[in-house]
Amino acid sequence: MNQFYNCFRTELLKTKRTLSFSGAIIIPTVITGVNFLTFVVYREDFAKAGANLWIALAGNIFSAFALLFLPMYVGMVGYSTNHIEHQADAWKNLFALPLKRSTIYLSKLCMVLLQVITCVTLLYALTLLSGQILGMLYPELGFQNYDSTVLILVTIVKFTLASLGTLAIQYVVSIYWSDFIKPMGAALIGLVVGILLAKWKFAFLVPYSLCPRVMEQFQKENLTIFNREVLSSVLWATGVFILGYWLILRKNVK
C-alpha cells in the first residue's frame, strides 16, 4: 500500500512542467466560457423560448464536451501517462526496480482517473456557476425558476462512467504503441464510428457509442444511472484492464 502511494506520488511528480493537468482545466473553462458568451449575446432569443433554459445551457455544453472533447481528452490522458515513459525510455528502469508491475500499472491508471475526474468535476461546477450568473445578470432568462442540478450531475456521472470503456482501450493501447498517431488515430476513428453507430440497435455494445447515447438520454431528462450503456462501459473497462494487466506482466522491454 505504501509502495502504491509512493508510486502514485512519482506519477504526480512526473506531470510537473507538462500539460497533463492543464487539459482538465482548459477544456471545461473554454466550453462553459464560450457557451456563457453565446447566452449573453443571444439572450433575447433564449428568453423568448421560455422553457427551462438549464436544459439548453447544459445541452450545449454537453454536446461539445461529451461528443468531442471527452473522448479526445480520455485518449489524450491515457496516452500521455505512458508517453512520458516511452519518451524517456524509462520502462526498462521501472521494470528493473523491485516493484510489482501491477503497482506501476495501477498507479498510472489512478493518475489517469484523477485527471478525468478533475475535468468533469470542474465542468459540473462551471456549468452550474454559469447558469447562476446568467440568472443573476438576466432574470428574464428564468434560470432562477428551475433546478436541474440533479439531472446535470447524473448526466455528468453517466458520461464519466460511459467513457471508462474507451479510457481503458486508449490506456492499454498506448502502453504498446509509443507514437502519438496510432493511439490518437484510434481515438478519432472510434469517435466518428461511435457517433455513426449510436442509433444502431446494439450500439450499447460499442464503447465509443456510449457517450452519444447518454447524450440522448439527457435530452429525454432520464435520471437512471445504471442502465445498459453504463454497465456495458464498466464491463468493457474491466475486461480491457484485466487484459492490459495480463499483457504488462508478460511485456518484454526490448
Partner 1 sequence: MNEPVIETTNLSYHFGTHQVLHDLSISVPAGSIYGFLGHNGAGKTTTIKILLSLLQDFHGDALILNKDIRSRRMEILARIGSLVEAPGLYHHLTGWENLRIRSLLLSVVPEKIVDTLRTVGLMEVKNRLVRHYSHGMKQRLGIALALLSDPQILILDEPTNGLDPTGIKEIRELLTTLRSLGKTIFLSSHILSEVEKIITDVGIIHKGRLLYGGGVEGLKASGANLVEFDVLQPDLTRELLTMWGISFESNHHLINIPCKSNARIAELTDHFVTHGISVIGIRKLEKSLEHVYFELVEKEMQQT
Binding residues (CB under 8 A) for partner 1: these are 2-3, 6-7, 9-10, 13-14, 16-18, 84-85, 87-100, 250, 252-254
Q: Where are the alpha helices (DSSP H) in the chain?
A: 2-14, 20-41, 43-49, 53-64, 70-88, 91-95, 101-137, 149-162, 164-176, 181-197, 210-219, 228-250
Q: 96 or 181: whose CB is closer to partner 1?
A: 96
Q: 2 or 202: whose CB is closer to partner 1?
A: 2
How many Å apart are CA 113 and CA 137, to the nearest integer?
36
How many Å apart are CA 85 and CA 79, to the nearest integer?
10
Grid cell in block for residue 136: 443573476
CB of 88 to partner 1, least distance (A): 5
CB of 179 to partner 1, least distance (A): 17
> What is the number of alpha carbons within 13 Å of residue 191 lying toward its C-beta?
20
Question: H or E stretch including 193?
Answer: helix 181-197
CB of 207 to partner 1, least distance (A): 31
CB of 112 to partner 1, least distance (A): 18
Q: Is the dihedral of CA 219, 225, 228, 229 positive or negative?
A: positive
CB of 206 to partner 1, least distance (A): 35
Q: 87 or 144: whose CB is closer to partner 1?
A: 87
Q: 70 or 248: whose CB is closer to partner 1?
A: 248
Q: 29 or 87: whose CB is closer to partner 1?
A: 87
